Amino acid sequence: MNPSKEVVGTELWRLTATEIASRVNAGKLKAVDVVASSLERLRAVNPRVNAVIVTCAEALKDAAEVDERVARTGFGGRLAGVPVTIKAGADQKGYLTDSGAKHFAQTAAETDSPQVKSLKDAGAVVIGRTNMPAFGCRWFSRSSLHGLTRNPVNPKITSGGSSGGAAAAVAVGIGPVAHGTDIAGSIRFPAYACGIHGIRPSLGRVGQFNDSSGDRQIGGQLMAVSGPLARSIPDLREAYEVMCAPDCRDSQQVQVPLRPASVCAKEGKPLRVGVWACPQIGGEYDTEVVDAVRQAAEKLRAAGHEVSDCDGSVPQEADLHAVAHSAAVLWASEYEGVDQRLKHTVDRTGDPDAIFAVSGLLRMSGVAASEWGCANFGQALMRALTERSKGIRQWGCFFQSFDVLLCPVSSRLAFRECEDVESEEAFDAVWKAQALQRMFPALAVPAIAVSTGTVRRRLTTASSGLAGGELEGGSVSEEFWEDVPVGVQLVAERFHEEFLFRAGEDLIRGTEKEVVTPVNSHG
């Protein structure tokens, strides 16, 4: 008897990760059938979205090994047979860790990074590597090396960045789970833009390290994390817990129970949710963005949680700006100051988007002048670390009164494609709108982007060629953009991710976003 008999006629790539693992482990479904279906889906839709830049030739062989493990032991792992994708910035044995840049497209990785290893150890099957902007320095996913990743929901808006390929892959049905990274919103914003869910775990939760590049500068060490994107919260939780496997290569990883005592104490009890619908940073908020937060608050209240506005409990506006600026300086330390090798590498790649974006990052952080020298940059860095410490303390006090913060992901709906490289003014507007994306990573706290639906809005489109010239044709025009995704951000105290999963599940229970239906990509 064929164990896949009960799902004949079903497009297996549509199944959730938890459904796949449950059926594979029960012997009711073969991992090779699931992976073959996902590879077929990849071949059918990827040419139109360019989410996956490399297809893994060994995927079916790896799936067969999962099936053999199930036959031998009765258990193939928590993610047995689940097709996943890996972002191009993470080491995967035998593949280039190019991070979207030609400079890094030289030598194949010799080992799997911790997050890749943990997924494989749990029985997940890597089917491809996903696109990202060069050096991961934008909220958009286009590079000279691999081209543009299109948003499968609406091709006129960005798929987000830097994990845009990961988000687009999940949204279009190329695997139910994707790996992403986040130093300033690179998981949360793509999830928001593509209408799926994504979590930025606490600093120290998920092990990460690339043997191919070695240790990062201080900004990357204190703010960059890896996490999953998925079409359902249960899938997100399962992938996240798998990725939390300990690995000695990550000097920042902390072995804390997935459900600390403070989380267990709230089991079965209402969560205290603070609503911050229109924060003091981020500029002017789109009406649809604020409405989404207010509607989410009502849904959480209806689910039995204790919901109240928290505007008077968050830090003062000056302190919010200070910690957001500290995050910018720490991020900029990857490119400028004590070690400028990466900045020089960006300049040498010739990727106009990356050059423009890194220049904007350094300008907005106030550390763009290389002639400052190490001493002056060191002083700026020390001030940033002091402001970061103050922010962690202030928000730690906030979370004594609230279990979850409900707020926008961005002050705006998803941007038009490559809006950030149209001009310095456009870059500055995008930077301002992403204040919450930039601030929370400096605080080491977990945050989840939960998709809540779509809105219809009239916006202005514009040409968006590579920065610095060669604009792709088309005049400025106005039109209705349908199906623009919208969502909210949930934030919790460090290592309290379980609160986010609880609130996220309650927020979308019974809605179309409880399990996001894969979209058909636009031609």
Pairing of strands 52-55, 125-130: antiparallel
E strands along 70-182, which residues? 83-87, 125-130, 142-143, 147-148, 177-182
Q: Decide if pLDDT at 474 tops 50.
A: no
**From the candidates 30, 38, 87, 451, which is the catalytic residue?**
87
Q: How confident is the model over 150-171, as pLDDT tens digits?
A: 999 999 999 999 999 999 999 9
Pairing of strands 447-461, 477-492: antiparallel
93 catalytic per annotation: no
For residue 382, what are the contacts with CB-CB under 8 A and spacing of at least 6?
none
Cis peptide preceding 262, ω within 30 of 0: no
* Residue where the block lists tokens 């031998």: 72
Q: Looking at residue 310, what is its pLDDT?
A: 99
Percentage of the chain with pLDDT > 90?
83
Q: Decide if pLDDT at 362 tops 50.
A: yes
Mean pLDDT of 466-490: 64
**From the candidates 99, 163, 186, 359, which is the catalytic residue?**
186
Mean pLDDT of 102-116: 94
Q: Decide if pLDDT at 252 tops 90.
A: yes
pLDDT grade, residue 470 (50/70/90)?
very low
Q: How confident is the model over 256-274, as pLDDT tens digits?
A: 999 999 999 999 999 999 9
Q: Decide if pLDDT at 4 tops 80.
A: no
pLDDT grade, residue 146 (50/70/90)?
very high
Mean pLDDT of 100-125: 96
Distance CA 44, CA 212 (A): 32
For residue 487, what are the contacts with CB-CB under 8 A and spacing of at least 6?
191, 192, 195, 292, 409, 449, 450, 451, 452, 453
Q: Decide if pLDDT at 468 tops 50.
A: no
Q: Looking at residue 415, what is its pLDDT?
A: 97
Distance of CA 410 to the CA centre of its chain: 13
* 161-191 exposure pattern, b = at least 16 Cβ within 10 A, e = fewer: bbbbbbbbbbbbbbbbbbbbbbbbbbbbbbb
pLDDT grade, residue 460 (50/70/90)?
low
Which tokens belong to 223?
Answer: 């703010």
Q: Decide if pLDDT at 385 tops 90.
A: yes
Q: Looking at residue 379, what is its pLDDT?
A: 87
**From the candidates 4, 38, 113, 162, which is the catalytic residue?**
162
Mean pLDDT of 506-513: 98
Distance CA 200, CA 188 (A): 7
The mean pLDDT value of the chain amounts to 92
Q: Decide if pLDDT at 375 tops 60.
A: yes
Percentage of the chain with pLDDT > 70?
90
Mean pLDDT of 298-310: 99
162 catalytic per annotation: yes
Better-predicted residue by pLDDT, 406 or 349: 406
Q: How confident is the model over 80-104, as pLDDT tens digits?
A: 999 999 999 999 999 999 999 988 8
E strands along 346-407, which residues? 404-407
30 catalytic per annotation: no
Q: Decide if pLDDT at 472 tops 70.
A: no
Q: Looking at residue 222, what is its pLDDT?
A: 97
Amino acid symbol at 53 = I
Q: Looking at residue 10, what is its pLDDT?
A: 61
Q: Looking at residue 483, what is its pLDDT?
A: 84
Enclosing H/E stretch for 451: strand 447-461
Domains and their CATH numbers in the chain: 11-250+270-508 (3.90.1300.10)
Better-predicted residue by pLDDT, 60 or 344: 60
Q: How confident is the model over 19-52, as pLDDT tens digits?
A: 999 999 999 999 999 999 999 999 999 999 999 9
Mean pLDDT of 191-216: 97
Q: Decide if pLDDT at 1 tops 60.
A: no
Q: Decide if pLDDT at 289 tops 80.
A: yes
**Terminal C-alpha separation, the chain:** 40
